[in-house]
Structure 1
Amino acid sequence: MEDKPMNVKKDPTLPAGEGMGQAWFTRREWEQGWDAIPDEGIDQAEFFRSYSRHPGRWTNAFTFLARPDLASLAPGRYELEEEDALFASFSEYVTKNEEDALYEAHRKYADIQYLVEGEEKIGVVPLSATTPVGPFDEEKDIIFLRADGDHFRVAAPGRFFIFFPGDAHCPGVKCGENMMVRKIVIKVRLT
């Protein structure tokens, strides 16, 4: 699909566009047949703006997530568009203790995170509420951070998260006992 901006009558970056974005989000015009539930913490206005700029890219991401064989994919990287515009990483890992976890944030990509198997906690805070623990790594598009307080949400099959550059997130934290999880992270380039 060619990635042309959506034809919208009003600038989605203006306050009036936020209402349009919320209605668009609620109608699930983005889902491509994928029936997972979006976490209520997703920035709907930012999602609408990003989708409006790159509808083909987001459509390809959700089409991939709607695959009937999603749970049976092998761990690894899946190129969904050329030039690193869109790719998926499927991983298996054991959840970690909260004290061993760091928040992270990105500048060039949004993350769609979805657990195919298992359960974990994901911390979510505004980037402005964090303290860096090192410099931003331009090549890997990541900075690691710390945040005070309990800002965790439960991630499990059937619920997904989207994190934009203003969202610091701390994935992979155990819920109760450490467990093996299987997870897909789709990286959507925002430029």
Structure 2
Amino acid sequence: MIVTERNNFRRYQNLNPYFPQVCDFLESTDLLSLAEGRYEIAGNNAYANVMSYISDGIAGSGKFETHDNYLDIHLVIQGKDKIAVAVPRKAKLIQEYDKNADIAFYQSEEFQVIDLNEFNLLVAFKEDFHQPKIRVNDELVKKMVIKVKVE
């Protein structure tokens, strides 16, 4: 897992062959102007999904997700959000890996909660089981999740 200020993300560009293109996208795009939907960064190798919602999750009470083929970069465009993160050794499988959806679900009683705001981001690798949309308040959150192919 990486949690960093958004403007420091380029420091990690060598960790994945598509990170430089993600950095270029983040540095050259007015994120506030983006409508909800999918945005191509590097075709199916890196793309962004923009969504809006009111966070209503309770940390640890829902499902933690993980992905084999893509890592997730979570960042808030507007508002505040939280994401809970658990480690595999403390988690129990509750839904087998679905290859087509690239997702498996776990439960865990041990986790940490990360605050997400308009200035930071969180990179969740396969071993970073994550539960997004943890409730902060009743305000609308505009968020982007960038899916990056694991090479």
TM-score by length of 1: 0.69
Structure 1 distance, partners of 2:110, 2:42, is 38
CA deviations 1:45-64 (Å, max 9, x no partner) are xx67733xx1xx11111111
- Choose from 10, 15, 39 the match for 1:50: 15
Count of matched residue pairs = 147
Alignment correspondent of 1:125: 86
Give the drift of 1:128.
Answer: 2.5
Summarize the Cα distance change of 1:101–1:117 in structure 2 as closer, same or farther, 3 Å threshold.
Answer: farther
Q: Which residue of structure 2 aligns with residue 178 of structure 1?
A: 138
**Counterparts of 1:49 and 1:147, CA distance in 2:** 31
Q: Does 1:90 align with 2:55?
A: no
What do you get for the CA RMSD once the two structures are aligned? 2.5
Larger Cα-atom Rg = 1
Instruction: Please list, as runs of the form range in 1=range in 2, the aligned pairs for 1:101-112 lying within 5 A after superposition.
Output: 101-112=62-73
- Report the Cα offset of residue 68 of structure 1: 4.3
Look up the SS of the partner of 2:24 in the other structure: helix
Q: In structure 2, list runs of 5 or more residues that go unmatched.
A: none
**Which residue does the alignment assign to 1:190?**
150
State the alpha-carbon separation in 2 of the partners of residues 136 and 49 from structure 1. Answer: 28
Query: Higher helix fraction: Structure 1 or Structure 2?
Result: 1
Following the alignment from structure 1 to structure 2, what is the Cα–Cα distance between the partners of residues 72 and 163?
Answer: 25
Determine what percentage of the aligned residue pairs are the same residue.
25
Determine if the alignment matches structure 1 residue 157 to structure 2 residue 118.
yes
> Which secondary structure does the structure 1 equivalent of 2:114 belong to?
strand
Q: Name the structure, 1 or 2, with higher relative contact order (CA <8 Å, separation 6+).
A: 2
Gapped regions of structure 1 (runs ≥ 5): 1-24, 39-43
Going by fraction, where is strand more abundant, 1 or 2? 2
Q: Deviations over 1:38-79 (max 9, x none)?
A: 6xxxxx9xx67733xx1xx11111111113411110100112
Distance 2:75 2:113 in 1: 15
Equivalent residue for 1:147?
108
**Contact 2:74–2:121 (CA<8 Å) still a contact in 1?**
yes
Evaluate the alpha carbon distance shift between residue 150 and residue 168 of structure 1 in structure 2; reply closer, same or farther with a 3 A threshold.
closer
Specify whether residues 179 and 150 from structure 1 end up closer, same or farther in structure 2 by C-alpha distance, changes over 3 A only.
Answer: farther
Equivalent pair of 1:119/1:174 in contact (CA under 8 Å): no
